[in-house]
Structure 1
Amino acid sequence: MLSMIGLVGGLALLIFLTMRGMNLLIAGPLCALFVGVLSGLPLFPQLVGEGEANFVGNYMSGFSSFVTSWYLMFLLGAIFGKVMEDSGAADSVSKWIVDKLGMKFAIFAIVLACAVLTYGGVSLFVVAFSVYPMAISLFKEANLPRRFIPATLAFGSVTFTMTSAGSPEIQNWIPIEYLGTSPLAGWEVSAIVAVFMMIFGGWWLKRMISKAVANGETFVSRENDPIVENKELPHPITGLIPLIVVLIISFIFHDKLAQSALIIALLGGVISTYLLNRKYFTSVGKALSEGTMGALIAIGNTAAVVGFGGVAKAVPAFQVAVDAMTSIPGSPLIGGAIAVSVIAGMTGSASGGQAIALPLLAPHYIETGVNPEALHRVVAISSGALDSLPHNGYVVTTVRSICGESHKDAYGAVGALTVIVPTIGLILAIVLFSLGLGI
């Protein structure tokens, strides 16, 4: 009982402190300690046998494993964003979009850029780094409140693209191992759900921003924003080419190198930005330095939350919760959706929700005769719903580290578009599969 109170209370405390703006490098281990103490978890590795769970060992294992896996991608992604910003390439592209499409389409240009990169295989974290310079320029040009930039980036990255059929993102690939399906599993329903999320989410985003503008909100510049007044900008084509380079290289090497393809792709993006726009740079050294510092802050914040998940998964209450979630009676599609969503919410990770639930769900549900393609798509979509609670690593990185916003100002729109919209899309998918579509 105490362990469950610790698990639920620790998660609630982490969300509360995140929303209050506490530094996550403090909030993460503090909340993990709360979970560990109430669960009777030994504090130090020296107090347990080799390989046994303990607070420091499990927290630092989760923290360090994330840094090990993602540091180079975060570093190159942040540097790529900074060189696009410093050279004026991002501003050039944004001005061209506004000139061609008009201010009313500025928001959707950002969403489209994120969607193309995400569906092209670029990591969600890196997409936010890469597109942010263009987003800040477009919002400034259109005089829109900047607190909606995180929601715009997230909507284009983690909703109708991340979990759709054919997506190279890991959230669409994990079920293949357990269900024997393909990345295109349930594509008919997936296409309908993706179109729904895109249209409904786009309308909602536009409505939220229009309401804020009507209430007098405008773009407010900051000291660390790139200064573009009276500065000669490169041609829009030389601003677009580096983005295309990243997309093409990541697509070519994705099957062979998986996420490591991003190292080559982002390096190609940085080099191509420099070669094409080198005469427009204000200070290459400063861009590299700021990109490096931004990457360290971003990966540190995210790893702090991942470390919390490492402790949460080690306590007895977590296994009790998993057993309960994976034993829900009734429709396998509904049970699978609830299980993956809740576990993803507890761990703050869409891929974590799938990786924990599927080994338990898949054999049981396959034996009952559930269509594996339908289960694949439902599980994929459900993993992208409650995972985006305030403590999610992507949310924390995008809101705080990349966009420099507070959860209090920015998370309302982020939550609406990345939790509510995908949840409605999930319900739609279950209904369509239950009616026999795509089966």
Structure 2
Amino acid sequence: MLSMAGLVGGLILLIFLTIRGMNILIAAPLCALLVALTSGIAILPPMAEGGQASFTVDYMTGFAGFLKDWFIVFLLGAMFGKVMEDSGAADSVAHWVVQKLGMRHAALAVILACAILTYGGVSVFVVAFSVFPMALSLFKEANLPRRFIPAALAFGSVTFTMTSAGSVEIQNFLPTSYLGTNHFAGWQVSIVVALFMATVGIFWFEKMMARAQANGEVFDVREGDPEEKNYDVLPNPMLGFVPLAVVLGTSFYFSVILDFGKSALVVALLGGLLSGILIYRKHFKNLGAALSVATLGALIAISNTCAVVGFGSIAKLTPAFQVALDYMTHLPGNELIGAAVAVSVIAALTGSASGGQAIALPLLAPHYLAEGVDPEALHRVVAISSGGLDSLPHNGYVVTTIRAICGETHQSAYLPVAALTVVIPFVGAILAIVLFLLGL
């Protein structure tokens, strides 16, 4: 009972501290310590009997394990995103999408611009930073409530693109290491689910904005808003699609044809990075400085994820976690339901889709594969499920996008974010399970 109270209390405290603005590198180990104390886990190795678990060792084992496995991917992804950003290629692609759709579909233009860049391999954080000034300008001209900008950025970046078949985001590649699949696993179902999430999400988003406008909400200009960018000096938008196509094509060849597993993602991002540098070499002010900034960004991004993975590493040692995991993996009905529930809960616990998968898959994959579950179906369900409850208020991307990039508060902006990035993917996971059960 105390273990369960500590586990739930630690999660609630982590969410609270994150919302209050505490650095996740401080909040996560602090909350993990609470979980350890309420479950009788030794704090230091000398306090552990017979080589049992200890807080300091196991927290850092989880932290360092994720760092070891994924730092190269985070680094290349950040550098590729920075090349696309610093050269103006990301702005060029996004601006081209906006021009094609026009002001009547301002919100849709922001969503699609984010979706194209994210699916092409640009980091979700870079996409948010790149598209925000354009979104601000569009929402201002269309007089749309600016508190909905974080929802538009998040919906286009971390839902129907991030976890779809063919996506080169880490959330779609993590299952390959444990299930022996590739990142196109379950592509038929993935297409249907992605179209469903995109269609329903856009419809719901526009309904929420229309309701807000009917209640008198308008765009509010604030002191310190960034100046509108000059889009006349950007590179050709068609050239902007070339590195994205290189990433997608290379990832397909090395993953599906050569079966390189997650190494295909390294090759794909490296290919995109080199092609971007080659194509835009005349557009950089200081390439070396840009890549240095990207390196720092990669360290921050992966450290934040490692911090919540460390929290999850302590959580999974507790009796409460083992009881909950046993319950979830033995739910009545199809095994895909248990997998979806387990991954969703662990992703919620860590506030990270990739962190949740990193903790859940080593425990779940052997169990469900031994039960004869189709690995391709399991891959797709795990990927989609991880992208739902991960977007609770303490999620690093959510906090950064709402507060640091858009200058909003959780109170004003989180509700539409939650509707589009928690509810829609959750329903999408249910749809995926139903389609797999129907044999699609």
TM tier, smaller: 0.7 to 0.9
Structure 1 alignment gaps of length 5 or more: none
What letter is aligned with 1:215?
E
3-state SS of 2:203 partner: helix
Aligned to 2:19: 19
What pairs with 1:137-156 in structure 2 (closer than 5 Å)?
137-143=133-139, 148-156=148-156
What pairs with 1:78-157 in structure 2 (closer than 5 Å)?
78-112=78-112, 114-116=114-116, 122=121, 126-143=122-139, 148-157=148-157
Q: Name the CA distance, whole Å, in 2 between partners of 1:375 and 1:188.
A: 14
CA offset at residue 16 of structure 1? 1.6
In the alignment, does 2:439 pair up with 1:438? Answer: yes
Q: Name the CA distance, whole Å, in 1 between partners of 2:63 and 2:190.
A: 34
Contact kept in structure 1, 2:97 and 2:113, CA below 8 Å: no
Q: Name the CA distance, whole Å, in 1 between partners of 2:292 and 2:407.
A: 17
Specify which of 285, 291, 295 is matched with residue 292 of structure 1: 295
Bigger mean CA offset, 78-87 vs 3-12: 78-87
Structure 2 alignment gaps of length 5 or more: none
What letter is aligned with 2:16?
F
CA offset at residue 34 of structure 1? 0.7
Bigger mean CA offset, 189-198 vs 165-174: 165-174
Q: Name the CA distance, whole Å, in 1 between partners of 2:109 and 2:426.
A: 24
Q: Name the CA distance, whole Å, in 1 between partners of 2:91 and 2:172.
A: 33
Aligned to 2:65: 65
Aligned to 2:349: 346
Q: Name the CA distance, whole Å, in 1 between partners of 2:243 and 2:203.
A: 30
Q: Name the CA distance, whole Å, in 1 between partners of 2:272 and 2:180.
A: 35
Aligned to 2:328: 325
What does the per-residue CA deviation read over 1:304-361, in whole Å, with 9 as the maximum and x for residues that have no partner? Answer: 2221111111222211111122222355454444334323323444523344334334
What does the per-residue CA deviation read over 1:23-58, in whole Å, with 9 as the maximum and x for residues that have no partner? Answer: 111111111111011111111123336863111111
What does the per-residue CA deviation read over 1:127-167, in whole Å, with 9 as the maximum and x for residues that have no partner? Answer: 31453354124313413566545533443344334445566
Bigger mean CA offset, 72-81 vs 390-399: 390-399
Q: Name the CA distance, whole Å, in 2 between partners of 1:261 and 1:176.
A: 11
What letter is aligned with 2:330?
S
TM-score w.r.t. structure 1 length?
0.80
What letter is aligned with 2:88?
G
Contact kept in structure 2, 1:63 and 1:304, CA below 8 Å: yes
308 and 283 in structure 1: CA distance in 2 versus 1, 3 angstrom threshold: same
What letter is aligned with 1:356?
L
Q: Name the CA distance, whole Å, in 2 between partners of 1:109 and 1:243.
A: 18
CA offset at residue 216 of structure 1? 1.9
Aligned length: 428
In the alignment, does 2:219 pair up with 1:217? Answer: yes
Aligned to 2:52: 52
Aligned to 2:416: 413
262 and 211 in structure 1: CA distance in 2 versus 1, 3 angstrom threshold: farther
CA offset at residue 111 of structure 1? 3.8
Q: Name the CA distance, whole Å, in 1 between partners of 2:179 and 2:286.
A: 51
Aligned to 2:241: 240
Contact kept in structure 2, 1:189 and 1:438, CA below 8 Å: no
Contact kept in structure 2, 1:305 and 1:391, CA below 8 Å: no
In the alignment, does 2:374 pair up with 1:359? Answer: no
Aligned to 1:197: 197
What letter is aligned with 1:344?
A
329 and 276 in structure 1: CA distance in 2 versus 1, 3 angstrom threshold: closer
Contact kept in structure 2, 1:132 and 1:403, CA below 8 Å: no
3-state SS of 1:143 partner: helix
What letter is aligned with 1:353?
A
Q: Name the CA distance, whole Å, in 1 between partners of 2:374 and 2:296.
A: 47
303 and 99 in structure 1: CA distance in 2 versus 1, 3 angstrom threshold: same
Bigger mean CA offset, 318-327 vs 214-223: 214-223
Q: Name the CA distance, whole Å, in 2 between partners of 1:383 and 1:209.
A: 27
104 and 253 in structure 1: CA distance in 2 versus 1, 3 angstrom threshold: farther
Q: Name the CA distance, whole Å, in 1 between partners of 2:364 and 2:153.
A: 28
Percentage of pairs with the same residue: 57
